[in-house]
Amino acid sequence: MKSSTIKKTVLAFGIVVLISNSAFAQSQNRQEKTPPSFSELIKKMDANEDGKLSKDEIKGPLKENFSKIDTDEDGFISEEEFKNAPKPKGRGKK
């Protein structure tokens, strides 16, 4: 084999390895994502720092399902209500 053919083969192999490692790492990151805890949500969203989350303070799936989560219908999501909330369904495998 010529030296240039060997170099091209090694370079192509290296590129394939890098691409496959990158794709694997991205898929691992997606699987490791976990929902935030109530204390993390409080730190991020509790604007008036009362230890509860009102509908005006939250966003995303939590806001979309507010009435299902706020079981005592007091207008706030407490830690207990958050723990007992229905879990979101996964998106499924692609």
Q: Is residue 21 part of a domain?
A: no
CA dist., res. 64 & res. 60, Å (int) = 6
Q: Is residue 75 part of a domain?
A: yes
Q: Is residue 80 part of a domain?
A: yes
Whether 83 and 38 have beta carbons less than 8 Å apart is answered as yes
Q: Is residue 60 part of a domain?
A: yes
What pLDDT sits at residue 16? Answer: 77
Whether 54 and 69 have beta carbons less than 8 Å apart is answered as no
- Residue 72, domain CATH: 1.10.238.10
Q: Does an H or E element contain 76, and which?
A: strand 76-77
CA dist., res. 32 & res. 29, Å (int) = 5
Q: Is residue 19 part of a domain?
A: no
Q: Is residue 92 part of a domain?
A: no
Q: Is residue 8 part of a domain?
A: no
Q: Is residue 68 part of a domain?
A: yes
Q: Which domain holds residue 69?
A: 36-87
Q: The tokens 């005006």 sit on which residue?
A: 56
Q: Which residues pair with 76 in a beta bridge?
A: 54
- How far CA 71 is from CA of 48, 65, 67, 77, 86, in Å, comes to 21, 11, 7, 8, 11
pLDDT tens for the chain, residues 1 to 94: 577 888 888 888 778 777 877 766 655 555 557 888 899 999 999 999 888 899 999 988 888 889 999 999 999 998 899 998 887 665 555 4
Give the chain's domain count. Answer: 1
